[in-house]
Structure 1
Amino acid sequence: MDTNIPTSLPTCKRIVLTLTLLASFLTFGQNRQQALQIQEEYIGSKIQSFTSELKKDFTTSRSKMLSMAKANGWKLSETLENGNFVELQDVGPDGSPIYYSTFSDNVSQVSRASALYSNGSLHLDLSGEGMQVGVWDGGVALASHQEFDTRANIGDAGNTISAHATMVMGTLIASGVKEKAKGVAYKANATTHDWSRDKIEVAEAAANGLLLSNHSYGIKSDRVPEWYFGSYIKVSQDWDKIMFNAPYYLMVSAAGNAQRMGDNSQPIYGKSSDGFDLMLGFAASKNGVTVAAADTRINTDGSLASATVANYSNFGPMDDSRIKPDIAGGGNNIYAANSSSASSYDTSSGTSMATPGITGSMLLLQEYYERLNATFMKAATLKGIVLHTADDVDAPGPDFKMGWGVMNTAKAAELITNKDYASIISEETLNDGETFSITVTADGNNPLKASISWTDPAAEYVNRGILNDVTPALVNDLDIRILKDGKEFLPWKLSAANATAAATKGDNYVDPFERVEIDNASGEYTIIVTNKGSLKDQSQNFSILVSGIKTNDCKINVPTGVSLDEATEEAVNVTWNAQVDALFEIQYREIGKADWNVDYQYETTNALKGLVKGKTYEVRLRTFCSANVMSEFTSELEFTFDGASTQMEEEIVMEELSISEPLKLAIYPNPAVEQISIDSAVSQNARFSIVNTMGLTVKTGEASQRKIDVANLAAGLYILTVQDLEGVKSTKFYKS
């Protein structure tokens, strides 16, 4: 076993933390330069050649489909009584017509992404501004709707305006002209497409840096034979190929609304009326995120009070026992933009409405990660974070109704915030036959959770007609374990043979996401990642996510004991009390200036340089425990710079600072701790200044309230001077 910590994981080395900090101040958003950075990583990859294959496939299959439709009298498209739009898109290997259908029903709430807004509980000021998302649907959205400003664009030749696509687009990016119609990523840009060439267009967009696309549609479930359900078929394979060849791109799709339709008469588990075994097509791909709809109740603090799967939302499992759907979001009674006019709205429900809530939340997480790390996450990392932080529902672990639970965007953002402080988020590579290993220390307060997530190669095998085929679609089978004192902790897994049973812990050989968790963890644990068999291409990229740990002993405390001393001709030193494993940020500027001078220091002293005699400055400090975790600033400490003092003895300095008699300024308490009070009459125009024994003015302000805060002053002797209508009065005081 390799017990070395990989160099790419966070360490306590000071240079690593400093460089990460500098990166965190770069600009963010998904601009052309950032897209080019992603494209550069794809140079030499297979995404372009696979796109060419898709185009050839499309031409051949489209011709065959139209010919068979004519021969069999199949409708090319129709609008059903429930308002769903249905269109013939392909023919299966057994000659079955494959219809795509939108997923809306009549039956509330979207993701807790509001915690990430400027007025949200996390105060992150995220809105999706500058980010890009793709929407494919049964037609295009009304791009001229008042909710979209100029942020919605039509990306293909589609000219059929769709009410469904418009509502999906609204749930994603509506600006909030009507507040309750406000989208999750309400300042993001979106490109709308119809679904006729979805694979080709997505592959091209992914090659150009697209991060996320929303697909609130799927194969119509009452028009395919039973063996399609839960199967890994060619369309599942094609989408997995796109995502594997473009590893920053993630497809988000709706689970479907056929739970009570009885469309699968031979499910792998239970009766047709139970709603199991309904995953179809690209919703069955390994690498994408498939979204269920949930009825949720959220507490005022943002925690999940209760959740049940919506009574229309499709259940898994996949026939090979893979966990689908992956995640759940609110999908009931969503009020959103409508295509009837540029100012019309409507209410709808369904997995179609839950899906853009998840997609928009993921877009905000990409925005936040890039802001802090100057790079976007790979799709496996994003997917992993969402599943790692989801709110569990009912029994511990995942299930086949809502996957890993209800998405909690706030918890996902906190995991990103705590990176290298109380969490690990790291993108790694496992070479065939090697062992990846890290040692962590549990924080003693939260469950220890460790997850791995990877974008798996498309399976060579696809089902071509076998009912309930249990052949695993997983190609590279990675395994995560946590070890301590000879005990091995295993990941969650589910079984299609008993789909209603609670998740168990054991060897998971089907899912490209695994999570191990330990309640009441204490002390050190070793996390290892290995693989079974041989890895395709001899290696597999993966992301590891760990929470419930502490990576250092730093405390997020405001620096204390801040004081100024040792002035030179152009500088003065600021000092403060030490703190274990902390990096300190020092900001100072001339009073009235907009920009701060910024220094970073692991020691407890720093020279404020470039000062000008006679100018008044302010300085403040804060503590960094990681690139993203920091304390509040200290109060600003004001001082007037007079250069080096040549007479350092306290008595001489006091003599120089003394003002003409009489010194009749009374204060209490003395010595002071938190504040001093002036026990003398002062006017509304009175001003005070506090000078230390170095001759530096360390605090000034109005004296009319007769109370002065001295909590941030270092212990020592000071002169308090009050300038009033009667002249200048001074007295000494001690700060203890």
Structure 2
Amino acid sequence: MSKTISGILSILAVLPCSSTWAENADVRYKIPLRTGAITPVPIERSTIRLPSSILPTTTFQNSVTAQASDAIAPNPGTPAPAPSTASDPAAATNRYIIQFHSIPSSDQIAKLKSQGTVLNEYVGGNSYYATTTGKAAAISAQDEQVRAIVEVTPKDKIQPEVLSEIQSSSAVQRPFSVRLFRDSTVETLAAQVKALNGSVIETSKASSSAVILIEPRRIEDLARSNSVKTIEAAPPAKQRYNDLVRRAIGAELLQKAPYGLTGAGVKVGIWDGGLVAQSHEDFKNRLTIGSTGASVDRHATHVAGTLGGDGAHSKSAVEEQQVSDTLTLNGQSASISSTAETATGASQPTAAGADKQWQGVAPGVSIVSYYWDNPTNAHEAAIKSEGIMLSQNSWGYTVDQQLGNCSLYGTYTLEAEGFDQIVTGFYGRRIPIIFAVGNERNDGDCGMSAAPPYRNYANVAPPVTAKNVISVGAINSDDNDMTEFSSWGPTTDGRLKPDIVAPGCRKTGQVTSTVPSNSYAGMCGTSMAAPAVSGGVALLIEQRQKMAKPVLLPSSIKALLIHGASDIAPAGPDYRTGYGAVNLQNSVDLIRGDKVTEGEIGTNGQTKTASLQIAPGAKELKVTLAWDDDPASTNATTSLVNDLDLRLVSPTGALHLPWQLDPKAPDTAATQGADHINVVEQATVQNPEAGIWKIQVVGFAIPKPAQQFSLIVTTR
């Protein structure tokens, strides 16, 4: 079985500690909603009065203050009928935000539930969405741990980008995304939308959401429904993100003795803008089509070849020097593929390759190809029926100034939430999900500089903004330099993107891989880097299987890639290259050396401490902590839910904290300090003093217990 932290290191203490959010009380108790921050007035318990009814409109004298819930301007023209709630299972209740003085214990949560108040998603500021009746809320308000109770109003549900649209008198229906409370159903929403002359066009089980068509002036009426949690702009159209790769990331060595890894026995799902060409000889009988109604796609086939083509056709095929339609929008393809195009832009054949020259990273892996339509829903059958073990995605949403959606960069969206759900086991089994970070940095759009060296930050488009996915940027395979196109973080809430980088182009050309018609072609982009990492993940999974060990948590896979990565100057992580360039041999050796520890923080404030003896002369102590966090509420301004802290204590008591970046100054080098933003923390100590060190994992704030974590500790 997978070892807990006590399996290889001694547990020294399980210490309670109070959750401290900030020294300033106003900051500590601010509820950071994207629809507007709320700083509620504390309850005056001496004046609480039980309401005479339990109607959803019930409020409490001197106990409920919803300062951000101002009245919304009425719709122009004739008011629309309010949605029917006759069939809504939440109709007899109302939605509140309940704020506590500190994160409540499991006993406190159980007590509230026995009183009729159920806590739902955590939204920050010691606050939770809650489902309750007016009477139950009044009873809960008498609890000394409850600081404030705020009723959720329609305006609290409507995202800022939608507010301007509801003033419109237009009768033209528009698409919007609706996030439901998890105790509500899509069927209920469909009935309510129909009552407003709208329709549901797509649903997502993982994010409990739907895309609807409705007149903008009807949005406020829909927001009155107890089923609806948030209403935001519908996602834009998706776009694709587009020799030496195997060698650059260490896969070439892993395919030889003593490793002998090919990805055999591992099944991966690939989501793309079309299907992988089954006719290509490099896939033989290892490729299954998981979607119907989609056509074969050049980009998807190229991605699959990088991940798992066996290169069987390399010696007899000719390589096409790539055409100009292989990468993303906004001029990206022309700027990247110019080195491989002729003056006319036509494809030019060259000599056939050498034996296995264009082999992928995991040539023995099994592949299931999916079209990118409704991908979070498609993962259910892929996991439960097809048995995929990881998910590869080289696509993202189109963000463009002409579309007016530049604010989407860095945003934690409904689909990001859905992918976080999947990683944490929503469909019965946890799997790692790999995403390309995007190619937006040099397109000169959304206020970015169009001049080299393109030092543009914060241009990562959803859904790679999810917390638990592995986000991959692109470097050149022949010199490890950063490419001109690879998107850089941070996200809107300051999180690190990308996590790591891998080869996605060449200084002197492109990445060659499979394309339809049993041929090969060159492309560049983070689309090429992500499948190289996905192939690497397949090798990590295979190595674990060879050792007859239990399946690792997705957070352990991420920690292995990050801990094994080769740092790219300056020291520590950065918003350009993440934790550095993937080095698969290092990561596989960590598995072979049994360096992965999986543990759990069960309660808020718990600390798990492990001891480690360091001998004299050690050059470096390196510790990586990662966890798959509970999905965040898309209405929260901070996506982190369970906040773990990593602390290293030297034999003489010196405290060493993890790397920390400043999202307000993204070009500055990492320093060391407490991190309350990311789901990965890494601490390194150069020339650590000899003696017994303490490695501490602290449950700084655990509103959704229990939280599993992955820990890797090495010295050299």
TM over 0.5: yes
**Residue 627 (structure 1) aligns with:** none
The alignment-based identity, stated in percent, is 26
Superposition pairs of residues 333-352 of structure 1, within 5 angstroms: 333-339=510-516, 341=517, 343-352=518-527
Which of 375, 388, 391 matches 2:563?
388
Q: For the residues of structure 1 that align with 2:687 and 2:7, how far apart are their CA atoms?
A: 28
Shift, 1:200, TM fit: 0.5
Q: Is the 8 A contact 1:116 1:126 kept in 2?
A: no
Superposition pairs of residues 96-107 of structure 1, within 5 angstroms: 98-104=236-242
Are residue 250 (structure 1) and residue 432 (structure 2) matched?
yes
Are residue 436 (structure 1) and residue 612 (structure 2) matched?
no
Shift, 1:57, TM fit: 8.9
Amino acid at match of 1:283: V
Q: Is the 8 A contact 1:430 1:540 kept in 2?
A: yes
**Residue 644 (structure 2) aligns with:** 478
Shift, 1:504, TM fit: 0.8
Moved more, 199-208 or 513-522: 199-208
Q: Is the 8 A contact 1:392 1:406 kept in 2?
A: yes
Q: Which runs of 5+ in 1 are unaligned?
A: 12-45, 70-91, 298-305, 464-470, 550-736
Amino acid at match of 2:468: N
Shift, 1:245, TM fit: 2.8
Are residue 60 (structure 1) and residue 200 (structure 2) matched?
yes
Moved more, 503-512 or 52-61: 52-61
**Residue 377 (structure 2) aligns with:** 200
**Residue 548 (structure 1) aligns with:** 715
Rg larger in structure? 1
Q: Is the 8 A contact 1:381 1:427 kept in 2?
A: no
Are residue 497 (structure 1) and residue 670 (structure 2) matched?
no
Q: For the residues of structure 2 that align with 1:125 and 1:280, how far apart are their CA atoms?
A: 37
Superposition pairs of residues 170-319 of structure 1, within 5 angstroms: 170-177=305-312, 178=314, 179-207=356-384, 209-222=387-400, 223-246=403-426, 248-265=430-447, 274-297=455-478, 307-319=480-492
Q: For the residues of structure 2 that align with 1:211 and 1:224, how far apart are their CA atoms?
A: 37
Superposition pairs of residues 88-167 of structure 1, within 5 angstroms: 93=231, 95=233, 98-104=236-242, 109-110=245-246, 111-119=248-256, 123-167=258-302
Q: For the residues of structure 2 that align with 1:338 and 1:439, how far apart are their CA atoms?
A: 52
Write out per-residue CA displacement over residues 290-334 of structure 1, whole angstroms, 9 at most, x where no aligned residue: 11000244xxxxxxxx53211111111112211001110001111
Secondary structure of 1:277's counterpart equals coil
Shift, 1:203, TM fit: 3.2
Moved more, 133-142 or 244-253: 244-253
Q: Is the 8 A contact 2:646 2:695 kept in 1?
A: yes
Secondary structure of 2:256's counterpart equals coil
Q: Is the 8 A contact 2:241 2:526 kept in 1?
A: yes
Which of 680, 696, 700 matches 1:532?
700
Superposition pairs of residues 553-564 of structure 1, within 5 angstroms: none
Q: For the residues of structure 2 that align with 1:129 and 1:66, how far apart are their CA atoms?
A: 42
Shift, 1:418, TM fit: 1.6
Write out per-residue CA displacement over residues 95-136 of structure 1, whole angstroms, 9 at most, x where no aligned residue: 4660100112xx95345242553426xx21111112100000
Secondary structure of 2:357's counterpart equals helix
Write out per-residue CA displacement over residues 622-669 of structure 1, whole angstroms, 9 at most, x where no aligned residue: xxxxxxxxxxxxxxxxxxxxxxxxxxxxxxxxxxxxxxxxxxxxxxxx
Shift, 1:435, TM fit: 1.1
Are residue 455 (structure 1) and residue 622 (structure 2) matched?
no
CA separation of 1:114 and 1:241: change in aligned 2, threshold 3 A: closer
CA separation of 1:507 and 1:187: change in aligned 2, threshold 3 A: same
TM-score, L = length of structure 2: 0.60
Secondary structure of 2:245's counterpart equals coil
Amino acid at match of 2:626: S
Q: Is the 8 A contact 2:235 2:397 kept in 1?
A: no
Superposition pairs of residues 38-49 of structure 1, within 5 angstroms: none
Secondary structure of 1:496's counterpart equals coil
Secondary structure of 2:704's counterpart equals helix
Superposition pairs of residues 612-631 of structure 1, within 5 angstroms: none
Write out per-residue CA displacement over residues 208-266 of structure 1, whole angstroms, 9 at most, x where no aligned residue: 55321111110112135122111212221121122123563111111111111133338
Shift, 1:389, TM fit: 1.4
Secondary structure of 1:387's counterpart equals helix
**Residue 322 (structure 2) aligns with:** none
Shift, 1:143, TM fit: 1.4
Superposition pairs of residues 532-681 of structure 1, within 5 angstroms: 532-533=700-701, 535-548=702-715
**Residue 573 (structure 2) aligns with:** 398
Q: For the residues of structure 1 that align with 2:360 and 2:531, how far apart are their CA atoms?
A: 9
CA separation of 1:362 and 1:388: change in aligned 2, threshold 3 A: same
Q: For the residues of structure 1 that align with 2:277 and 2:707, how far apart are their CA atoms?
A: 42
Q: Which runs of 5+ in 2 are unaligned?
A: 11-120, 122-180, 191-198, 204-209, 216-229, 315-355
The two structures, once aligned, show a CA RMSD in angstroms of 3.2
Amino acid at match of 1:60: V
CA separation of 1:93 and 1:278: change in aligned 2, threshold 3 A: farther
Q: Is the 8 A contact 2:376 2:415 kept in 1?
A: no
Secondary structure of 1:395's counterpart equals coil
Write out per-residue CA displacement over residues 260-296 of structure 1, whole angstroms, 9 at most, x where no aligned residue: 11333389xx999632111121110000011100024
**Residue 42 (structure 2) aligns with:** none
CA separation of 1:62 and 1:125: change in aligned 2, threshold 3 A: same
**Residue 410 (structure 1) aligns with:** 585
Shift, 1:397, TM fit: 0.5
Amino acid at match of 1:181: W
Q: For the residues of structure 1 that align with 2:277 and 2:530, how far apart are their CA atoms?
A: 19
Shift, 1:538, TM fit: 2.8
Which of 469, 493, 499 matches 1:326?
499
Q: How many residues align?
A: 461
CA separation of 1:146 and 1:216: change in aligned 2, threshold 3 A: same
CA separation of 1:54 and 1:383: change in aligned 2, threshold 3 A: farther
Moved more, 57-66 or 536-545: 57-66
**Residue 368 (structure 1) aligns with:** 543
Q: For the residues of structure 2 that align with 1:149 and 1:93, how far apart are their CA atoms?
A: 46
Amino acid at match of 2:691: G
Q: Is the 8 A contact 2:436 2:473 kept in 1?
A: yes
Q: For the residues of structure 2 that align with 1:66 and 1:149, how far apart are their CA atoms?
A: 41
Q: For the residues of structure 2 that align with 1:360 and 1:53, how far apart are their CA atoms?
A: 38
Amino acid at match of 2:8: L
Q: Is the 8 A contact 2:249 2:502 kept in 1?
A: no
Write out per-residue CA displacement over residues 343-371 of structure 1, whole angstroms, 9 at most, x where no aligned residue: 21111111001110000001101110222
Shift, 1:445, TM fit: 3.5
